[in-house]
Chain A
């Protein structure tokens, strides 16, 4: 699995993500995030995990979203942050949806709210932070390519290109689960289930 929340030259701290954003509208469903034909890929195999990532958001209609999320020929996206509208991740329960985004290099999604299964899957896998904005419609004020900063500790999204700031709802109890790397890692860390050494 790709490392998460690492400190890199573009990220001042593990709780901050910085880079160009990709902007989506309302009701982005799981068929757009990862079409069904790719679901036979098994994320626990590193080469298939990478391949899954390369297909992230390939279901988006190109007329509405002319900028490709992943450059043709590339495996990962140059957009670590996705900004979206209402009901992100609606549709199927496929866990491949947040996994494909995470494998592609997305660190956080900021949406108005999420479909519940997608939200659960994001937390259970620990692949991405599914953050919610306090205001609605922020996707209309951002353009794909704007340089943004997501600050988890301050619950803030800053669009450095427009200068606007947006308050985020705290990730709450889901935060430590995602930080640990998902529900299994969290459960082991907190002693809910036996760790690998004692299994």
Chain B
């Protein structure tokens, strides 16, 4: 194989063959396979390619389409995107299309270009999020996605695998975000380029599904092709009420070998941030306590899940005070939004996240997002520190980058 050793190739190969989706592994590292599911976000370009040629998608039941990124906005071009997407789905009779037609309750903010949701999607670099379910999930561009939708095939190089063994009891002031910032800081933003990242160990097994998603979400920030957490009883429990279809999990063989292995004793780790302007610019949160901040953002596919908001609520509850800087909370999906208003926060005497956030003075950059490159959150000169929801909430309370142990211990 070009570029990879035979041994690394064998691990991914065993996964691909078992899946039964690989009908031809080509010499030179390429392989073609039938795609089980192709998810597509609102990508006008792809749809237009089909309309022009009066083509049909390869299988109307194996494509899932979810408008995302450019929704609930007054931007005309963004809304145009969604309209054309809807027309395409109607024309192609796509079975699984999740429309956003009923937007009555959402106020369009003219300054907003859109909201990034958790999307188990192909046309998004954070598709790797879905690796938390033991899936191979990788981001591709519009043209690649159009090709898959038309042919049901994609040309891929099988990546070698890096293994990350995380052991030890997870301290109560750490979250999965701290773990992935630790890893990216270790291997750099290109450390996993063209490689698969596998997360194993007792700590990983103790994580719930949302925390596993946070871990896999940011593998692309290390250049990774995909991330994966092996399926276990936690995965199966989560999926119990979500599907009746049978599926067969795949695992690394006993003889699988890995291109690199990293071991971490999680019990010794501390809350981290990634300083501007790179996700690998790792630093201890406590060493940044003199950094004055202007605002805090808790949201996005990386840090806008129910567990993330419960974590932030825990810190606000422990403090009992109001935030010192504007703090924006953006649920990643409608379900998360409902959870924030509906679920009681443990130890709060029955209060919901929304009540706690309101009392703390949050509006419904320390940021729980995934990238802090220049201009990522607007202004080119803006400085963004990436952090966990605990660290973000703690920082909101002090107005400085703050280690959450100030409130949680």
A positions within 8 Å CB-CB of B: 27, 29, 31-32, 35-37, 39-44, 59-62, 86-87, 90-95, 113, 115-117, 120-121, 124-125, 173, 182-184, 187, 192-193, 196, 199
Contact = CB atoms under 8 A, between A and B. Distances in A.
A92 B225 CA distance: 12
Given A40-B80, A93-B141, A120-B141, 5 more contacts: A31-B375, A42-B45, A44-B45, A116-B223, A120-B144
Interface string B234-277: 00000000000000000000000000000000000000000000
B141 A87 contact: no
Contact of B53 (A43, A192, A196): A196
B375 A40 contact: no
A68 B143 CA distance: 29
Interface of B: 28, 30, 44-45, 48-49, 53-55, 69-70, 75, 77-78, 80-81, 113, 123-125, 127, 139-144, 146-147, 150-151, 189-190, 193-194, 220, 223, 225, 278, 371, 373-376, 380-381
B122 to A, nearest CB: 9
A37 to B, nearest CB: 6
A187 B147 contact: yes
B374 A121 contact: no
B44 A42 contact: yes
Contacts of B140: 93, 117, 120-121
B125 A37 contact: no
A18 to B, nearest CB: 28
Nearest to A196: B53
A184 B194 contact: no
A72 to B, nearest CB: 16
B189 A27 contact: yes
B141 A125 contact: yes
A183 B147 contact: yes
Contacts of A184: 49, 143, 146-147
Nearest to A118: B141
For the residues of A in contact with B, the DSSP-based class is loop
Given A31-B375, A113-B190, A40 B75 contact: yes
B374 A125 contact: no
A53 to B, nearest CB: 15
Contact of B375 (A59, A90, A121, A173): A59
A192 B150 CA distance: 11
Q: Which of A40, A62, A93, A113 has the most CB of B within 10 A?
A: A93
A199 B278 CA distance: 46
A95 B43 CA distance: 10
B160 to A, nearest CB: 13
B31 to A, nearest CB: 13
Nearest to B150: A193
A36 B112 CA distance: 11
7 contacts: A40-B78, A40-B80, A42-B48, A62-B380, A87-B190, A117-B125, A173-B28
Nearest to B56: A199
Given A91-B125, A125-B143, A115 B193 contact: yes
B394 to A, nearest CB: 27
A193 B151 contact: yes
Nearest to B125: A93
A164 to B, nearest CB: 25
- The 6 residue pairs across chains A and B that have the minimum distance between CB atoms: A95-B141, A40-B77, A121-B141, A124-B143, A93-B125, A93-B139
Contacts of A59: 374-375, 380
A64 B48 CA distance: 38
B54 A199 contact: yes
B98 to A, nearest CB: 20
B110 to A, nearest CB: 13
Contacts of A86: 190
A67 B44 CA distance: 33
A90 B77 CA distance: 26
Contacts of B127: 93
A43 B220 CA distance: 25
Contacts of A92: 124-125, 371
A31 B28 contact: no
B190 A91 contact: no
Contacts of A183: 143-144, 147
Contacts of A87: 189-190, 193, 223
Contacts of A61: 374, 380-381
A152 B372 CA distance: 35
A184 B46 CA distance: 11
Contacts of B150: 193
